[in-house]
């Protein structure tokens, strides 16, 4: 029996819905960003400069910013969690803004498991005091809070250090993601 035959009808409907959203998102993003480059907002492992250089060789750092009204958490499905952001009016997340080419976006899509594990949204942040719209990946629904794998956490921690971000924020995000009674 082939894998697609084992999927539930609801799973297929959700997957096709996400694919249609992908097409709409891509069209909007290309139009908004002029069709050649876009601004990408990184908050997790893509803060790590050497890792991004390998994955997206034409990407250029634009600067750091704060994503207000969000908090970072780690989610997964029985394996080590990976970073996502979720709305929280009382929180903010330090981020790195990149200028990326379509080839970089395609590489990020593969790395992030888009559109199944992550979807894309656009948010406005301040870069050097000026508002800019930036694309970011957020995890799709249905993934449980869990602590990140040691390697994932180490890469994000190094990224925080590279940009002089407050490590206490990352530690809080880690603690907020741990199963109850763990911390």
Residue 169: which CATH number?
3.10.490.10
Q: Supply the pLDDT for residue 13.
A: 44
Q: Supply the pLDDT for residue 15.
A: 43
Structure-token pair, residue 57: 């060789």
- Taking alpha carbons only, the member of 37, 42, 62 closest to residue 52 is 42
- Looking at the domain assignment, is residue 162 inside a domain? yes
3-state DSSP call for residue 139?
A: strand
- Looking at the domain assignment, is residue 21 inside a domain? yes
Separation CA 118–CA 128 (nearest Å):
28
- Looking at the domain assignment, is residue 57 inside a domain? yes
- Looking at the domain assignment, is residue 27 inside a domain? yes
- Looking at the domain assignment, is residue 119 inside a domain? yes
Q: Supply the pLDDT for residue 181.
A: 53
155 close to 48: Cβ distance less than 8 angstroms: yes
Instruction: Provide the sign of the torsion angle of the four alpha carbons 60, 86, 163, 151, taken in this order.
Output: negative
- Looking at the domain assignment, is residue 3 inside a domain? no
CA distances 109 to 88, 105, 128, 138, Å, are: 25, 6, 27, 12
How many helices and strands, by DSSP H and E, does the chain display? 6, 6
- Looking at the domain assignment, is residue 30 inside a domain? yes
- What is the domain extent for residue 151? 9-177
DSSP letters for 41-86: EE-SGGG-HHHHHHH-TT-EEEEEEEEEEEEEEEEESSS-BEEEEE
Question: What is the count of structural domains for the chain?
Answer: 1
Instruction: Chunk the chain into consecutive blocks of 10 residues (it has 183) and report each block's average pLDDT, rounded to whole numbers.
Output: 36 45 43 72 98 98 98 88 97 98 98 97 98 98 92 96 98 87 48
Structure-token pair, residue 165: 């971000």
Q: Supply the pLDDT for residue 179.
A: 73
- Looking at the domain assignment, is residue 4 inside a domain? no
pTM: 0.80
């Amino acid at each position: 029996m082939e894998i697609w035959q084992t999927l539930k009808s609801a799973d297929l409907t959700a997957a096709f819905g996400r694919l249609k959203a992908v097409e709409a998102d891509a069209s909007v993003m290309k139009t908004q960003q002029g069709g050649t480059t876009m601004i990408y907002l990184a908050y997790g492992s893509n803060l790590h400069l050497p890792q991004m250089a390998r994955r997206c060789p034409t990407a250029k750092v634009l600067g750091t910013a704060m994503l207000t009204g969000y908090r970072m958490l780690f989610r997964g499905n029985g394996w080590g969690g990976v970073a996502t952001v979720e709305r929280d009016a009382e929180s903010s997340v330090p981020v790195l803004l990149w200028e990326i080419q379509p080839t970089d976006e395609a590489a990020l899509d593969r790395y992030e498991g888009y559109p199944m594990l992550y979807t894309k949204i656009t948010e406005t942040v301040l870069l050097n005091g000026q508002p800019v719209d930036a694309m970011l990946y957020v995890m799709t629904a249905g993934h449980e809070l869990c602590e990140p794998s040691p390697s994932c956490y180490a890469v994000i921690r190094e990224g925080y250090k590279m940009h002089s971000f407050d490590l206490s924020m990352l530690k809080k995000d880690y603690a907020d993601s741990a199963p109850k009674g763990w911390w």
